Each structure stands twice: as structure tokens, then as C-alpha cells.
Amino acid sequence: MKNSVKRMNLIGFALVSSNRNRILFFNKDYEVTKRLQLYYMRNDLLYLAPLDRFMLQKHLLAFRQDPSLPEFNEQNCMEFTLNNATILPVEMDVAPFRFSRIQIDTTLSKPKPEEYNIHLNLQHASTVIEEVEELVDRRIQHAMDDAQYILKGYEMFHKFCRENLTAGESIDYMFKKDIEDELQFKNTFLDIKRNITEKIMGLDYTIDPTLFREQLKQDILSVHETNPNKYSDMITKRMHTL
């Protein structure tokens, strides 16, 4: 099949369980799926696989044969897939496991409760992670822009002082200290991001979804509320509404 046709029929990306008999997560966005896969890796290995309509054809047929099911869309088809594991040949995307293709095994068994929990928890985590990280990223970007602007200002004014004041080490020292501090300030945001990542990676995805939601909320809040600064306030507020 031509790549262009493949792209047209691509419906999104899945995370497939390590024994390759379940699709545990599906999202249209590669970045979301990829990031979640990386977060989850501390718990277990999940394969990331791109899915297109042809790959779901079998499910599609099964889906249509069942009149009790709602109208077909990708999401409920994936739900159906989760609950009715069957052969699903998919292409592997993810390093470091360099298979070119992967096949989801047929088990015909109902998923175990913890598998279903993983599925729901991954879905919830993906939403929260995206939102929180977007906020943090926006803040980092803002701080970076701000820092660049400020550093440029320091540079220009330092040059001016050197040209207009008699030489003295004190000028260079003043600027050096302030610039170091400016950079340290910027690094604070990266620390927040690192801390959130640590927390998310350490979560138990097999637990009850209600418990998981609360745990995720508390863990992210703990990063911000034990280290509050004005930039984390918006994240804290958002988490309180979840």
C-alpha cells in the first residue's frame, strides 16, 4: 500500500500490552500516545502501534454485525477491540524494540479487571498529562522568552556601562551574579516538569480508576503545593477542578 493511502486511512495510535493481546489505549495524536508510553514504561512495556482503518476491518465487521452496538466510530471500535481481543496485525513504531510488525494474539478471553483499569487509567492520565504539561510548557516557554529578553537587556546595558564608566571589576561582578540568577530562575520550571514526570511514572496503573484519579491529582498537586510559586498557581487551580 502506498504511504499516502496509509496516511489517509490512519486513525490514530494504540498502546498494546506487553503480551500483545490487548489494546489498552488509543489516541489520534502520536505525541500523546508516545508520551504516555514513555510514562508507563516504569510499570511495564507497552508497544506503540499506528492503526489504520484496514487494521480494524475485522472489528468493524464484527461491530456492524452486532445491532446492539452504537454507530461505528474509532473510539467505540477501540473499546470493542479491548473487550473482544482478536488478531490485529499492526506495525510497530517504537524503539528500542525493533520489530517491523507486531500481531496482537487472539485470546478470546475477557480482559482482567486490572487490564481494564490500566485502559481507563491511561485514558484519564493522557488527558491530565496533556493539560498539565501544556500549562508547564507554556510557562517554560514564557520564562525562556522572558529570560532571553532580560539577558539581552543585561548584555546591552553591561556594554553601555563598560563604555561609560571607568573600568572596575564591580560592574562585571554585578552583571555576572544577576545573569546567573536569571538562569537559575528559568531552571525552576524544568525542575517542576521533571518532578511531575517522576510522579506520573511512579503511579500504579492497575488500581481502581476512582482511586487512580485521586492519586494522580494529589501527586501533581504535591509537586506544586510543596513548592509553590506564582507560576504553579494556575496548575494548582486547574488540578483542584478535576
Partner 1 sequence: MREIFQNNRLVDNGSLKLYLRDQNLNKYGDYWVYSFWAIPYLNDIRTRSDLPFTTPWGCDQHPEFMRLPKLKFTDMSLSDILDKRAIEIHQRAVTDNKKIYIMFSGGIDSTTLLTAFIKNIPAQELDDRYTIIMSANSIAENYYFYKNYIHNKFRTINWLDLDVTQNLLKDTIVLHGDPANALLSVPTVNVITSLVEDGEHLKPFRPNVGTVIDTLESFVLKSRGRGVFGYGVREGWAEWYVSKMIDAIPQYEHATSVAAFWWWHYINFKWHGSMLRPFFFTRSSVQDPVSEEEFKYYYDTCFYINNDFHHWSYSNIDRIVRTPSDYKPEMRDYIYELTHDDLYRKHKGFKASRRTNLNAQQISTDMPLVYDKNWVGHPRSNEMMKTVIELLNEYKG
Integer CA distances (angstroms), 179 to 97, 105, 149, in order: 44, 57, 12
The CA distance from 6 to 4, in Å, is 5
Task: Work out whether 183 is an interface residue with partner 1 (CB under 8 A).
Answer: no
Closest to partner 1 by CB, 48 vs 136, is 136
Contact yes or no for 52/6 (Cβ under 8 A): yes
By the rule CB under 8 A, 141 interacts with partner 1: no
Q: Give me the least distance between CB of 190 and partner 1, in Å please.
A: 11
CB of 227 to partner 1, least distance (A): 4
Q: How far is the CB of 212 from partner 1 (least distance, A)?
A: 21
- DSSP code for 84: S
Interface pick for partner 1 out of 62, 161, 207, 242 (rule CB under 8 A): 161
* The only residue of 115, 215, 225, 242 in contact with partner 1, by rule CB under 8 A: 225
Only segment of 47-55, 69-77, 170-178, 204-212 that touches partner 1 (CB under 8 A): 170-178
Q: Is residue 73 at the binding interface for partner 1, with CB under 8 A as the rule?
A: no
- How far apart are CB 125 and partner 1 at their closest, in Å? 23
For residue 6, what are the contacts with CB-CB under 8 A and spacing of at least 6?
A: 52
Cβ proximity to partner 1, 71 vs 169, nearer residue: 169
Q: Which of 127, 173, 214, 218 binds partner 1 (CB under 8 A)?
A: 173
Query: Which residue matches cell numbers 492497575?
Result: 206
Q: Evaluate whether 223 touches 195 at the Cβ level (below 8 Å).
A: yes
Q: In one letter, which amino acid is 16?
A: V
Residue 214 sits in the site that holds partner 1 (CB under 8 A): no
237 binds partner 1 (CB under 8 A): yes
Can you tell me which of 157, 198, 214, 218 binds partner 1, judged by CB under 8 A?
157
The CA distances from residue 2 to 6, 7, 28, 59, 182, in Å, are 6, 9, 21, 23, 51
Does 76 sit near partner 1 (CB under 8 A)? no
> Which residues 6+ apart lie within 8 Å of 171 measured at CB?
158, 161, 162, 165
Our CA dihedral for 42, 44, 47, 51, rounded to 10 degrees, sits at -100
How many residues form the binding site for partner 1 (CB under 8 A)? 33
Contact between 163 and partner 1 (CB under 8 A)?
Answer: no
Which residue, 123 or 188, has its beta carbon nearer to partner 1? Answer: 188
Give, in degrees to the nearest 5, the angle at Cα 2 between 10 and 28.
10
Q: Angle at the Cα of 115 (from 111 to 121), degrees rounded to 5?
A: 135
Q: Rule CB under 8 A: which residues touch partner 1?
A: 154, 157-158, 161, 164-166, 168, 170-171, 173-175, 177-178, 181-182, 184-185, 187-188, 191, 225-231, 233, 236-237, 240
